[in-house]
Amino acid sequence: MFNTDDTIVAIATPPGRGGIGVVRLSGPNAQSIAGALLGNRAQLKPRTATLATLEEIASDNDTERIDQVLVTSFPGPASYTGDDVVELSAHGSPVVLEAIVKAAMRSGARLAEPGEFTLRGFLNGRIDLVQAEAVADLVDSVTPLQARLAYDQLEGTLSTEIRAIDTTLFDLIAGLEASLDFPEEGYHFIDRRKTVTAIVDISARISGLLAGGRRGRVIREGRQVAIIGSPNTGKSSIFNGLVGAGRAIVTDVAGTTRDLVTETIDVCGVPVRLVDTAGIRDTDNAVEVEGVLRARSVMAVADLSLLVFDQSRPFDNSDLQLLEETSSYRRLIVANKGDLPLAWSSDPFTAVSSRIVKATATTEAGLEALREALTAELVAEEPRRDSPAITNTRHLDLLERARGELDRAAQAVSTEISEEFVLADLQRARAILEEITGQRTTEDLLQHIFSRFCIGK
Ligand SMILES: Nc1nc2c(ncn2[C@@H]2O[C@H](COP(=O)(O)OP(=O)(O)OP(=O)(O)O)[C@@H](O)[C@H]2O)c(=O)[nH]1
Ligand SMILES: [Mg+2]
């Protein structure tokens, strides 16, 4: 399925217009195809930008100029893909870029699949699987913290740690095998106490990696937060305040919002999809009924709901109902309109364990406490730069499985089970670690990972 012998081509810059657009070629014929497009006039020096005119043979054998381009050649194996790579920087018009791709295809190149450049880099051993996944994460990042963690993984921080653990495990296995293989040298019985300590040490290092994993995953995948409440409590005002723009309609008419309104905001590096919803109430209006249905379904899937109440209005039965209806959801209770006189005769939240925050949606300062509470709910401590944070579920699952094998091995040693079983557990743990970095993979897995890339990467 992965043909790596041919030359691939794709536009590497995003769709649409731009100052510059880049077309990338990779494969054994990258240089000759680029040469043909440039009329074989330009001398390409490795890793040096050369100004050239790009043209193609028109139907009547005349040449037709396409654009003036900057061409850079990266001979393999020291290139992104490990093969010969040529990058053509043209004027960023989709028409020009497509003409270049078509001309390259007429000269024998094949249109690249999503992620195929990076896949080749992986297959050629330029990067490991963790780094390849980090490329996609970096391209997809929407907050600076996401970008930073992805870049750390691309630099190899995580790969290095996993390989180090793998090497320690390898040494341990080799030592155990030797003591089993050469009983005459007096090592017949492995030192069980030492072996357990060694296994427990390795397991602890994996636990260390896993410890930051939950937060890492939150940063990579983001969170969805629904704003829920009775009509007119100020949900859309809160939404607009957090988004920093008048995105949702705000009026003093109860039942203003009917549809879901969504924006992504950055909460301390975590991308948060904030969803404004229709005020929940019993109504005969068909449009509003649908809006309320949608509000409830968003609440059911959201990671957190901001449950908004208007404290300038007496706490009534419908408020109480809403409080009960949401008791099983993860929620943050917001007592809004803090600038107006309090109309609640008693504290309605005495029996509630959720975090409660006062807010005034109409002023910047009035939202500060809400912002802080939101951060506290969604974000724990920020990972340090030098600690390789795990962000990817695939890595988390595999590390947990590896730790499981190690714990089983440690158990087996201490319960005097035959050494062969211990070795088998340790070998399995190694195999799992190697799946993370991609020393062992399957075609299905690669297909799955690289299909989420964009074309040209
Ligand atoms: N004084 C004061 N007025 C507020 C505050 N928050 C919202 N309002 C006003 O309350 C009214 C309703 O605000 P919205 O944000 O539209 O309320 P909503 O909950 O989205 O309403 P629906 O979409 O109808 O459910 C508007 O007139 C807002 O200006 C606040 O903190 N203080
Ligand atoms: Mg609204």
The 10s digit of each residue's pLDDT in 32-67 is 999 999 987 777 899 999 999 998 766 666 778 889
**139-212+387-438 topology per CATH:** Four Helix Bundle (Hemerythrin (Met), subunit A) (1.20.120)
Mean pLDDT across the chain: 91
Is 35 near ligand 1, meaning CB less than 6 Å away?
no
Nearest-angstrom CA–CA distance, 7 and 5 = 7
Domain ranges of the chain: 8-126, 139-212+387-438, 225-378
Buried b (16+ CB within 10 A) or exposed e, 62-74: eeeebbebebbbb
Give the number of the ligand closest to the Cα of residue 250: 1
Q: Is the preceding omega at residue 77 within 30 degrees of 0, hence cis?
A: yes
Contacts of 150 (CB under 8 A, 6+ apart): 134, 137, 138, 141, 220, 391
Is 255 near ligand 1, meaning CB less than 6 Å away?
yes
Residue of 304, 320, 342 lying closest to 228 (CA atoms): 304
223-229 sheet: strands from edge to edge:
261-267, 270-276, 223-229, 304-310, 331-336, 355-358
Nearest-angstrom CA–CA distance, 454 and 150 = 16
**The predicted structure's pLDDT at residue 259:** 95
| Alpha-carbon Rg for the chain in angstroms | 29
Is 245 near ligand 1, meaning CB less than 6 Å away?
no
- Which architecture does CATH list for 8-126? 2-Layer Sandwich (3.30)
Nearest-angstrom CA–CA distance, 211 and 388 = 11
Question: What is the CA(233)–ligand 2 centre distance, in A?
Answer: 8
Nearest-angstrom CA–CA distance, 109 and 90 = 18
Nearest-angstrom CA–CA distance, 450 and 113 = 9
**Residue of 242, 250, 336, 368 with the most ligand 1 atoms within 8 Å of its CB, for mutation:** 250
Instruction: Tell me the whole-structure pTM to 2 decimals.
Output: 0.80
**The predicted structure's pLDDT at residue 185:** 55
- Which architecture does CATH list for 225-378? 3-Layer(aba) Sandwich (3.40)
Kindly report, residue by residue over 127-155, the tens digit of the pLDDT. Answer: 999 999 999 999 999 888 889 999 999 99
